[in-house]
Chains A and B, each alone.
Chain A
């Protein structure tokens, strides 16, 4: 752990400065905002998964009470408004590129999933809009829906631009070397796993409020976004062809994102468009059913794994063949998630000399699939850590020892993997050891025996994960098919009294940036945290920035702030040198004071700030007045958090219920700025991972109807489903950013599903159970127990 230098500085668990407004009901989320004259938008959505639209009759709806406008795809087409774009594409094995079919804002000629928007009704009240939508008559010619993504290539073609319903067929690694390793192996461990489909379910449903100002021909959009500047760029440049300056995007308080609020959704664009068309502010807020049907889902992979071992149980090769479901349209980052963010993670924490992976991204008549907490990395970790434990079992080794002999040794960093990434630093045995100690691994068999006496099956399972976050540098991102930069921005404004306003391009939707970022500034400038305000989420106030996703905010955004503060200190030293009549080289800055080395001559930071804005005694001939600096930070590499999570479970054979009885997480996030906030991120991630492993499953039936479209049907983790968590840390500071920080937002969700499923299988291993799919529901577990007993009886 890094040394805590200051009560509210870096390394201190400062209580969050943003809490009070949320605790007193003064948070300001998009749906809390109302504008004079506003009208409500309601989207009529397809109730069939795949169909041609023969006709849409909106006449009756047009004249319904309160209705001010009814629009369909042809109105959008007439105004030549573009649809959402794909932000990252990859090359295919046959030399072609990713197939990018158009995604119209409102359906044009065809609907492709249940929930696809067919028309929008704008009315004085939401009730009137909903009632009028019921009067719209849509005549469909139904087509066979494609739901099973593994066999989607054999289904009806969904887009004319996408033959065999395959958006891309991508590969990474050395196929011949890997196949050779598999052929020559002493043992090949084979495993097929499914990564179940999830719904992100941020508790705040998506919402948009758009307003058009006819005087200066500009728009203002309040929206639930993780990255307001990207939303503005996409809307202005790709959809409406207007200068960015004519659109202000504000993402006020946002109630969770987990990836689902990265993208520009059609509803935001339609509200912007309709606000001008109607000349009144237009608001739309999803109810939970719409959220289930239209928010991008996550995961949904099928992976075939082959792990090759030599005589000493050392890994000599890994081959993974993946098919994944991307849904009806290509969402902004849907291509990068199962490819770059998945394939490049397949080396995990292990020294693997040959790796090859092939990924096919399929179109289906389900809603789009894109990033959800972890985004590609949980899928990679799940298949790898399940395979590691399976392999350990098959070769008769303790899973911890099997991992240990295959870890990348700590003196091998920087370590070049066979799947493109170069890990700058890591040390994996300490977090394995510590997690084992935290959960009392060595006495587990005693606990298993004790549980058996009570008629319960007790199991333990682990997962040692690697994460790559803070995607960078931009040049590499570009070379890999990314269409955006991956730097982050900061503007640090010192006000005349010495208080600070920090403007960040990152966005906080629960992560506590207002506190963490203020700690960095307070620590570096030696000032109280109360003097630092962090501003984010408004394109008119903040510099262009990339927003928050992929656990990038501290590593990229925090580093940008740190760099801007360094510039402030450098300029302040010049001012101090002038005021103190000393050479700049003799000025030391410590604890908020500029001191002439070896003397008692000093100036406080506040005095420098005042001098910069009241420059009566100031080196104006060589230095500009004012004290405000920008930084745009483009990291030189990803950051690579790692860790080990261990789950302990008890299974009641009478009910099949899996109870998580203990959890130990030991993570290496580099230096911690606010350990309390980091711990909260770990807890939340683990809970989502436990949700995936035991409870959650987005299920479409064969007709493409989402059967799990409410909290009655989609099982969210609740307080009584989860244990308390033991959280610990090791620390190898990141080598390439000033703060030595990595990312912590997604680790829990990445590490936990395989640890938990490994524990379930371990619990049932005395019965001969060797596999369990997610979610491990009571029914599934009970069935596995029954089947094993009937096999034993035979």
Chain B
């Protein structure tokens, strides 16, 4: 066991957890933020994507201990109060989600992708989402959403 402190959506969280606690379990089980999901056990599906110091990472693939002292943003921390982040709004307007399970990871991946590349092309979006699996949408509307989100974010 050991104490881990990190900033989660702007709030300092300090928890005493087992050394082998995964970051995703720290977020879901210990802090109780369940918006970030677990869809696989091989780091393939991307339902658990969060931002760690501004970089999108799969929270199932690192230990909480490795995130000590970092700043984490999860899907719960993306909107500005009641106002959705432009990417969230774009997913809503373009029907970029159905069951919603992959959506948090999809949106977090998309935000990072577009932050790095504001004039992102459809091809780059498709390649950039390679690490996020969606079973519902066939990706068509997700790609449209990311394009629209990029435009809203100043692309």
Residues on A facing B (Cβ under 8 Å): 15-16, 18-29, 31-32, 201-205, 253-256, 258, 287-289, 509-512, 676-677, 679-680, 683-688, 710-712, 716-720, 722, 724-725, 748
Contacts and interface: CB of A to CB of B under 8 A. Distances in A.
B57 interface: no
B95 A24 contact: no
Q: Is the interface of A mostly helix, strand, loop or mixed?
A: loop
Given A256-B99, A288-B39, A510-B100, A23 B91 contact: yes
A16 B34 contact: no
Given A16-B95, A686-B138, A29 B35 contact: no
Contacts of A718: 129-130, 132-133, 139
A254 B99 CA distance: 7
Contact of A255 (B41, B91, B99, B126): B99
A27 B104 CA distance: 10
B76 A25 contact: yes
A684 B40 contact: no
A20 B84 contact: yes
B75 A25 contact: yes
20 contacts: A19-B100, A25-B33, A25-B74, A32-B28, A255-B101, A255-B102, A288-B39, A288-B40, A679-B95, A683-B138, A683-B140, A711-B42, A711-B44, A712-B42, A717-B139, A718-B130, A719-B129, A719-B132, A720-B130, A724-B143
A597 B135 CA distance: 52
Nearest to B127: A720
- Which of A720, A722, A748 is the most central at the interface, judged by chain B CB atoms within 10 Å of its CB? A720
Given A288-B41, A684-B137, A719-B125, 10 more contacts: A22-B103, A26-B76, A203-B135, A204-B101, A253-B99, A255-B100, A679-B141, A683-B140, A711-B133, A720-B126
Given A684-B137, A687-B138, A687-B139, A203 B39 contact: yes
Contacts of A255: 37, 99-102
A29 B95 CA distance: 20
Contacts of A679: 95, 141
Nearest to B9: A25
B24 to A, nearest CB: 12
A481 to B, nearest CB: 31
B107 interface: yes
Nearest to B34: A32
A258 B135 contact: yes
B103 to A, nearest CB: 5
A688 B137 CA distance: 10
Contacts of A16: 92, 95
B47 interface: yes
Nearest to B123: A720
A405 to B, nearest CB: 33
Nearest to A711: B44
Contacts of B139: 683, 687, 717-719, 722
Interface string B36-60: 1111111011010000000000000
B93 interface: yes
B44 A24 contact: no
Contact of B98 (A28, A680, A720): A680
B136 interface: yes
B72 interface: no
Contact of A22 (B97, B140, B143): B97
B140 A724 contact: yes
A509 B74 contact: no
Given A24-B79, A254-B99, A288 B136 contact: no
Contacts of A687: 137-140
B99 A719 contact: no
A254 B133 CA distance: 16
Contacts of A289: 41
Contacts of B99: 202-204, 253-256, 509-510
Contact of B95 (A201, A253, A677, A716): A677
Contact of A256 (B40, B104, B136): B136
Contacts of B122: 724
Interface string B69-100: 00000111011000010001001110101111
A708 to B, nearest CB: 12
B142 interface: yes
Contacts of A288: 39-42, 45
B92 A19 contact: yes
Nearest to A290: B41
Given A24-B79, A288-B42, A719-B125, A512 B98 contact: yes
B8 to A, nearest CB: 12
A145 B74 CA distance: 47
B114 interface: no
A748 B136 CA distance: 12
B111 to A, nearest CB: 12
B96 to A, nearest CB: 9
A212 B134 CA distance: 35
Given A15-B95, A24-B78, A205 B39 contact: yes
A680 B137 contact: yes
Nearest to B98: A510
B133 A203 contact: yes
Contacts of B100: 18-19, 21-23, 27, 253, 255, 510
Given A203-B47, A512-B98, A19 B91 contact: yes
A679 B140 CA distance: 10
Given A255-B101, A289-B41, A720-B130, A20 B92 contact: yes
Nearest to A681: B98
B103 A23 contact: yes
A684 B141 CA distance: 10
B113 to A, nearest CB: 11
Nearest to A716: B133
A19 to B, nearest CB: 5
A649 to B, nearest CB: 17
A711 B47 CA distance: 13
- Which of A21, A25, A254 is the most central at the interface, judged by chain B CB atoms within 10 Å of its CB? A25
Nearest to A512: B98
Contacts of B136: 203, 256, 510, 680, 684
B135 A15 contact: no
